[in-house]
Amino acid sequence: MEKLTIDHFTLLKVIGKGSYAKVILVKKNDNKEIYAMKILKKKNIEKRKQEDHVLGERNILVEVKHPFIIKMFYAFKNDVKLYFVLEYCSGGELFNLLQKRKVFTEDQARFYAAQIVLALEHLHNHDIIYRDLKPENVLIDAQGYIRITDFGLSKRNVKGTKDAQSVCGTPEYLAPEILLKAGHGKPVDWWTLGAIIYEMLSGFPPFYTQNREELFESIKFAQLKYPVSLTPACKSLLEGLFSKNPDKRLGSKGAQEIKDHPWFLNVNWDTLLKKLYKPPFIPLVKSEVDVSNFDPEFTEQPLESHDPNSLSIGGESIGQKYQDFTYDAKLE
């Protein structure tokens, strides 16, 4: 079979940009399918010592198959860059939807939160912790359902509550045990679930302040103030998820604890998994290449900098690190 290269795709629009990756809407030339292509420069990865994170992300995307987790179709590389070819979610980021709506009702928030619970449960069943749950990493598909994406900070083979050590994540969503450098495990993801629910209902992450030091002190030691509009069941759920002690946090004994909470009482988990609920917001999508639900900050960027022939010297200095990088979902 012919080796996949960037020449097999037509690049259409920039739709995202991370600290060392760009995401571009692409069309595969042979089957005309539309995908989101995540492009990483090897020298940037090497400079930031992120090789293990990138390979970890590739391995997780190969291993994990779930309706609410982004699907990878291909992975390939050249001398300079690595490419992930992922499903395109034309509804944009949950972050953008939240910015437009300011706050969600509890019913609306529950629809997204319940899908996140199922996605995290699936990852935890595979002993993977996600560690980067935030509205920017939750994508919305054309039907209005979600996918969690970006597994660059995820960690595999985490069984115990102190198996992971590194301080990583987005400041506003960090769990106290990460900041205390006490070792952490799966409960960190349930803290971030609480953070995203809180943000959907209040418009801000918990403990929000622009003073980083103050933020970290509050996460570690302060009691959270809840919006007075919350129902008792919702407040009870959040209090459980925001337990500073990971061993007492709701979900520390498994996702079922959360699924059984009264706030999720009316969720039929099988119905949700089959995507039979009507989503609260169905994105306006004019065509399969519509990017209007993504931030113009990205979509108005030029494509020129993605010339596949702009090879720089020294890309292969990482040696054999990426020899097993390529992947094709159709060959499974």
Could you list the active site residues?
A: 132
Q: How far apart are CA 124 and CA 131, in angstroms?
A: 11
Q: How far apart are CA 186 and CA 249, in angstroms?
A: 10
Give the position of tokens 């940009």: 17
Edge to edge, what strands does the sheet with 81-87 contain? 9-17, 21-28, 34-41, 81-87, 72-77, 327-328
Token readout for 13 is 């629009």
Q: Is 50 helix (H, G, I), strand (E, B) or coil?
A: coil
Q: Is 305 helix (H, G, I), strand (E, B) or coil?
A: helix
Give 110's contacts (C-beta < 8 A, 6+ positions apart). Answer: 263, 264, 267
- Tell me the Cα Rg of the chain: 20
The answer to whether 102 is a known ligand-binding residue is: no
Q: How far apart are CA 109 and CA 282, in angstroms?
A: 14
CB 269 within 8 A of CB 118: yes
Q: How far apart are CA 175 and CA 178, in angstroms?
A: 6
Token readout for 197 is 């629910």
Q: Is 34 helix (H, G, I), strand (E, B) or coil?
A: strand
Token readout for 221 is 């030691």
What is the DSSP-derived secondary structure letter of residue 311?
-
Give the position of tokens 């917001």: 281
CA dihedral 46, 52, 55, 57 (to 10 degrees): -110
- The count of C-alpha atoms lying within 13 angstroms of the C-alpha of 140, restricted to the half-sphere facing its C-beta, is 27
In the annotated binding site, the residues are: 38
For the annotated binding site for ATP, the residues are: 38
